[in-house]
Amino acid sequence: MVGVKGQVQRRGVERRRAMVDAAIELFSRQGVRGTGVAAIAERAGVTPSALIHHFGSKDGLVRAVLEEADRRALERLSITEGAEPTLDEAFDWFVRDAEHTAATERDLAALHTTLTAENLDPGSVLHLWFRDRGRGLRTHLASLFARAMADGSARADLNPAVLAAETAAFIEGAHLLWLLDPEQVDLTSVHRSYFEGLASRLRPAA
């Protein structure tokens, strides 16, 4: 019985993953508003009722897709659990993540940009999700810069909050430029150049 139960659970996980992957593909191409539940279900090889059973609603599916994007990014962050990354580790991760995104995750990057644009209005369904996610990213970045200032690996006269906003703005802007013109904008090279320059700016005077 245990083996059968495990197989059923595994099939459920695989089916859920197939639905999320189908949603990522269709949402990134057509936008959330232009994509119906039936189309996602057909792409995933399930019925619309099965999709609703798993996610509750289309909005629930959208949230699951966004959470999956963040989960994949965090999974690539090779920092020991519970440990806080150093400045060099964090900057290296951003460059590696850009390389990974450019190679295999264009749909997710396009989806993130599309959904951000669709939810700029404070009254939109996912406005608070994106606002809070942005605040969370800036909070983590500000903590990163503050720790570097405290341990002496960054200058002591910096403003962590301003640096956090600047870094977040660079990341979002670089992805947008790349999505619009990937033949002209090398996402990895742009990230490497920015973070090398930022590291130089933050380095304490000798």
pLDDT digits (tens, 9 = 90+) for 158-168: 999 999 999 99
Angstrom distance (rounded) from CA 127 to CA 9: 33
pLDDT digits (tens, 9 = 90+) for 54-91: 999 998 898 888 888 888 777 776 554 556 889 999 99
Give the pLDDT mean for 98-126: 89
- The whole-number pLDDT of residue 8 equals 53
Q: For position 118, what pLDDT does the model report?
A: 86
Does the global pTM surpass 0.85? no
CATH superfamily of the domain spanning 1-75: Homeodomain-like (1.10.10.60)
CATH 3.30.70.1340 is held by the domain 80-206: no
Residue 45 carries which DSSP code? T
Report the alpha-carbon distance of residue 205 to residue 197 in Å, rounded: 15
Closest by CA to 29, choosing from 109, 129, 131, 125, is 109
User: Can you give the residue ranges of every domain in the chain?
Assistant: 1-75, 80-206
